[in-house]
Amino acid sequence: MKLRPLALTLLLSLAALVASPADEPKLEPLFNGKDLTNFKTDGSTDFWHVENGILIGENNAEKKGNYLWTEKEYSDFVIEFDVRWKGVTERGVDTGIEMRKPNIQLQLGVSGSLKVDMSGSWYTGGKDKYPEAGQAKEAKTLMKPEGEWNHFRIQAKGDTFTCWINGQKASEYTDAKFSGPAPLGLQIHPGVVMKCEYRDVKLAELK
């Protein structure tokens, strides 16, 4: 039996709708909006606290840095969150999400080494620090004005690390060196007065 073109199109569209939920990983809250459950609090409560469902990170008077690490280690995963900040000093906010062993980080805000906004770019700590292949060169056009919430999605799968900003793919970096499972870390960079806020932090492990 031959299907008419319109019927075939409708059938394919329906199939796509049915299939899509299975393709999307099921995200579960990592931050519960109430306290630091799922995170290691030793040494971090002076830097991180919760207000009105928002996870807030600030450095202390000595401008010391801190990482808020997850209790659990992750290898392949997807994490999504809203984040906002507003420059407190001329240097701006320097934060990010650290993952895997050896450590690789998705930069948020101004790079301490480059003194420019590298949001959405991958920091490897190597000679190039921010390899060109992993830079989010169009991040400024994808992000909302400073002080507004921006939605980030990060995927670590195999040897490939991908970042989306407000629903648009911003960067992708491939390097097999960063292969070991590790806790995720939210950074407060030392030596700078800064404040960053996170909400709706959700995560799914990829099998």
Domain spans in the chain, listed from the N-terminal domain onward = 28-205
Give residue 80's pLDDT.
98
Give residue 18's pLDDT.
42
DSSP letters, 91-104, are T--EEEEEETBTTE
Give residue 48's pLDDT.
96
Q: What is the DSSP pairing of strand 104-109 with strand 195-205?
A: unpaired
Distances (CA, A) of 162 to 4, 62, 105, 159, 195: 40, 34, 11, 10, 25
The angle subtended at Cα 115 by Cα 107 and Cα 108, nearest 5°, is 20
Joined tokens for residue 46: 């002076």
Q: Do residues 41 and 122 make contact, with C-beta atoms less than 8 angstroms apart?
A: no
Give residue 78's pLDDT.
98
Give residue 89's pLDDT.
55
Give residue 1's pLDDT.
47
Joined tokens for residue 15: 């199939």
Give residue 17's pLDDT.
41
Strand, coil or helix: 197:
strand
Give residue 172's pLDDT.
98
- Helix ranges (DSSP H) in the chain: 5-23, 139-142
The domain defined by 28-205 folds into: Jelly Rolls (2.60.120)
Cα gap 59→68, rounded to integer Å: 12
- Averaged in consecutive runs of 10 residues, what is the pLDDT profile of the chain (207 residues)? 50 43 82 97 94 94 91 98 79 89 95 89 91 96 94 98 98 97 95 91 96
Candidates 43, 42, 45; CA nearest to 55 is 45
